[in-house]
Amino acid sequence: MNDPETKLTADVCIMGAGPVGGSLACRLAEAGVSTVVVDRAALPPMEHPAFDGRAYAISAGSRRLLDESGLWAKLPEPAQEIREIRVSDGKVGRPASRLFLHFDHLELGPDTGPFGWMVEARGLRIALNGHMPTLPSLRVLAPAEASVERRDDGVTVRIAGGPEIACRVVIAAEGRNSPLREEAGIPVTRLPYGQTGMVFAISHEHPHHGIALEHFLPAGPFALLPMAPSADALAGGAPNVSAIVWTEQQAVAKRMMALDDARFEREVARRLGDHLGRIQLVGRRWSYPLSAMLAHRYIDTRLALAGDAAHGIHPISGQGLNLGFRDAIVLADLMIEAVRFGGDPGDPVLLTRYQRARRPDNMMMLGMTDGLDRLFSSDNRLLRLARDVGIAAVHRMPPLKRLFMRQAMGV
């Protein structure tokens, strides 16, 4: 990158310094590709515990991106390994069904790593905000409003009251309501679920042993995800902490969110059972309306969509960000190679290769998570029978079980 402050040149400009845009920016800059990342919002407030309550299940495939972009080493707290996954179904207030699935990463071999790692959204923001300014090939502009002009031969990004950036390609990583996607006239299919995801953390009496639990209840999945011990979560620290993503119909979720902490904890315990002993809420609760979304195209002239700007899925399998990370891995690999050999990172052939590599994979995951939600969030007797038969089949077919495990690991 170069020049007086009014004119910058770069290979790539990324709009959105969220987990996907920020990680892609770091990966490109680590490889020497000159990159500018622009975010409409100020970045430091996103590190605050009250900004985002989400915790991400990072698959082994996504870990590669975080390693190569220098972010894994900058996480403020060690990530918690997910060593086992248990899947069960049942009803509120009753023990889980006898037929349940149990995945242990050791079934894939003694040298196989864990299924994934739990990382707080806030921890990832701290790593990004700490690492981005240290990279010589990366320029961060935030908070900043930008306008983008795309032509066949290049892109000009104009920052209000700031510099003008000449680059070869622009990446839309501004999340679900991507203005660049809309400006390009790319249609979107949306699938509202009428459900709300309630997200919060609990401290519990007994250790979780790195076990994640997906408990399917008639209103939607209730997921328990093991977190690393927290020194500042409760007075005196909290050695045993888990994150919960609890899906409910919108009206019920609204009622639950209005309960005081003691009543809310009782409702959580009715769904969770007593295997973790006494539980206590840690910090505040968040709620997110749930919907799926898929852009009909991921590319346009010198434009590529990545992460939630291109797709959104039900959080049932905790894979939303992992899909965005896979977009970033493919884009980074293609663009680093192009720049290294004197090519054009905005070349239409390169962008078409990106779309071909990513859109079918994301569509498959959208279909799978949608199907799982419909199959399990139902009290229909036939559907209950179908899923019990399915679960029994997975038990009897070790290769099918191993396939599921590899898919969960993103390998």
Ligand X SMILES: Cc1cc2nc3c(=O)[nH]c(=O)nc-3n(C[C@H](O)[C@H](O)[C@H](O)COP(=O)(O)OP(=O)(O)OC[C@H]3O[C@@H](n4cnc5c(N)ncnc54)[C@H](O)[C@@H]3O)c2cc1C
Contact footprint for ligand X (CB under 6 A) = 15-21, 38-41, 54, 56-57, 173-175, 179, 197, 199, 245, 288, 307-308, 315, 318-322, 324
Q: Which CB, 168 or 326, lies closer to ligand X?
A: 326
Residue 372 CA to residue 102 CA, distance in Å, equals: 17
**Least separation, in Å, of the C-beta of 382 and ligand X?**
29
Nearer to ligand X, 61 or 390 (CB): 61
**Residue 226: is the preceding peptide bond cis (ω within 30°)?**
no
What does the block give as tokens for 76? 């403020």
Q: Taking the CA of residue 180 as centre, how many other CA atoms within 13 Å lie in the half-sphere pointing to its CB?
A: 35
CA 119, 121, 126, 130 torsion: positive or negative?
positive
Which residue, 74 or 125, is less far from ligand X as judged by CB? 125
| Shortest distance, position 310 Cβ to ligand X, whole Å | 8
Q: Which of helix, strand or coil describes residue 9?
A: strand
Torsion-angle region of residue 323: left (phi > 0), alpha (psi -120 to 50) or beta?
Answer: alpha
Rank residues 192 and 237 by Cβ distance to ligand X and give the closer one: 192
In degrees and rounded to multiples of 5, residue 342 shows phi and psi of 75, 15
Kindly state the smallest distance separating residue 152's Cβ from ligand X, in Å.
23
Q: Which helix (H) or strand (E) holds 405?
A: helix 398-409
Closest to ligand X by CB, 15 vs 224, is: 15
Selection from 332, 335, 309 nearest residue 321 by Cα:
309
**Nearer to ligand X (CB atom), residue 338 or residue 365:** 365
Q: Smallest distance, Å, CB 321 to ligand X?
A: 3
CB of residue 293 to ligand X, shortest distance in Å: 11
Min separation Cβ 25 and ligand X, Å: 11
Helix H or strand E encompassing 242: strand 241-249
User: Which of residues 147 and 380 has its CB atom nearest to ligand X in the complex?
Assistant: 147
Give strand pairing partners of 238: 230
The least CB distance from residue 13 to ligand X, in Å, is 11
Smallest CA-to-CA distance from 203 within 172, 175, 163, 230 is with 230
Q: Cβ 131 to ligand X, closest distance in Å?
A: 15
Nearest to ligand X of 51, 404 (CB atom)? 51
